[in-house]
Amino acid sequence: MNFQLTDNSRQRVKKIFFLALPAILEMSLNTMLGVADTLMISRIIGKEGLAAVGFANQIFYMLIFVFSSFNAGATAMVARSYGEKNYKRLNKIMGQNLTLNTTIGIFVFFITFIFAGNIMTVYDITTEVRTLGVTYLKVVSFSQLFMFASFAMAASLRGAGDTKTPMYITGTANVINIIGNYVLITGFGFFPELGIAGAALSTTISRFLAVIAYIYVVFNIKERLQLKFNNLKLTKKIIIPLWNFSYAAGLEQLSMQVAFFINGIIISSLPTTSEAAFRILINIESISFMPAIGFSIATATLVGKHLGEDDPEESLKTGFTAASMGIIWGIFMGLIFILFPAAIIKIFTTEKVVIDASIWTLRIAGLNQAPLAFMIIMSGALRGTGDTKGVMIITAMRLWLIFIPLTYLFTIILNQGVSGVWYAEISSFVVFSIVIFKRFYSMEWSKIKMFA
């Protein structure tokens, strides 16, 4: 395989970048929704509220990522259909995936709303933090009714190469959320002062408006990607391959979210200051790897499209080109973390004790940025080929053989506090970056048949 820089490779970089850019902006804006909550809750309510929202969101996102796994299979199937120019099948995939996600969203809403109090008891946290967490989780659970449907439509649009529409909708929703946060948390003007419940209600309202926008787009605006009500009906011809390419992604997310859940329990045994520092550091790192997420989305779309065009070699080159772009970004962000940790942390909190507890760990996290970006993009490339089982196995092994055991070792036994989480994460990424590289380079995925 020749990876020398040529006119074709330059065109490949441009194609990846311009497809990824709207996705990067969308993911960044989506992350900013959580960051807006973090900033306002940290400054208005305090570290107890910040810790409460962090623990509640850990439960919230665990359920979302596990149960929205059909979107991984849908994106790959849509991208393949798009490459084959089979728009009739593409719209059936989009419609049936929307039906599945909406049904799951209703189910997850009831689970989180009814059992919010029981869920929060698993953490070793103070009564005040637990009470605030239950309040936030109960209110924000309503947003799951809308979030699953939005994810389904966004995944299908991206699979067909439309990364701009999700960006516009997410950006608008975030502006609404930020305004809503301020007026509902503080009781600005004639609005009631709802505190932490106000942050949750604002998030829910913004996600409701987002799903209305998506419904309007896919039923009225698009041409080749336009849903009809008969496309919402489930059929074996679509559901069986959708399940086959999605269940592994679901197991991957289950493994990942359970690992994060256990990681949260480990962190909850630390003082509240450390818990708050951890939540801030997670938010900072979440922003830093948004470009990698965007490159991953673009890579999955392009790799699947090239396979639909029967050009697996171009799929391979696209995957490695995107991964190289991600590594460059990771090195840049790593240097920012290492050189300016205090300035970054002060954006999120004014509490000196939390700032002091976070500086060293953010420098350590800087070393994690390049391998983290590489793993994210390579995982997206493999998902785009339909090799969701390979990603599942690699992710599960990374988490349970290295990340969780070393997190406990560094954080608790060696008493390294929140820094122990990043020591463990760096170790796991270094080892499994080699594994995922070999998996993608083998091109075994070129033999995967997506449709009968």
Instruction: Tell me the torsion sign for CA atoms 151, 156, 161, 165.
Output: negative
Among 75, 231, 244, CA closest to 153: 75
pLDDT at 330: 95
- Nearest 5°: the CA angle 293, 393, 266 is 75
Rounded Cα distance between 202 and 121, Å, is 25
Contact between 196 and 132 under an 8 Å Cβ cutoff? The reply is: yes
Question: pLDDT tens track of the chain, all 452 residues?
Answer: 444 545 578 889 988 998 888 888 877 776 666 666 667 777 777 777 777 777 777 777 777 777 777 787 888 888 888 888 898 899 999 999 999 999 988 988 898 888 888 878 877 778 888 888 888 889 888 988 898 999 899 988 988 888 899 989 988 988 898 899 889 888 888 888 888 888 889 989 999 999 999 999 988 776 677 788 888 998 988 888 888 888 888 888 888 878 888 888 888 888 878 888 888 888 788 888 888 988 998 899 899 889 988 899 999 999 999 999 999 999 999 999 999 999 999 887 778 888 888 899 999 999 999 999 999 999 999 998 989 899 999 999 999 999 999 999 999 999 888 899 999 999 999 999 999 999 999 999 998 887 65
pLDDT at 356: 87
Rounded Cα distance between 382 and 172, Å, is 31
pLDDT at 96: 92
H or E stretch covering 274: helix 272-288
- Which residue, chain included where needed, has tokens 């300016």? 340
pLDDT at 36: 66
DSSP E strand boundaries for 1-96: none
Rounded Cα distance between 60 and 196, Å, is 16
pLDDT at 31: 64
pLDDT at 85: 87
pLDDT at 393: 94
H or E stretch covering 29: helix 7-44
pLDDT at 448: 84
Rounded Cα distance between 140 and 196, Å, is 10
Rounded Cα distance between 279 and 45, Å, is 15
Rounded Cα distance between 116 and 271, Å, is 23
pLDDT at 10: 83
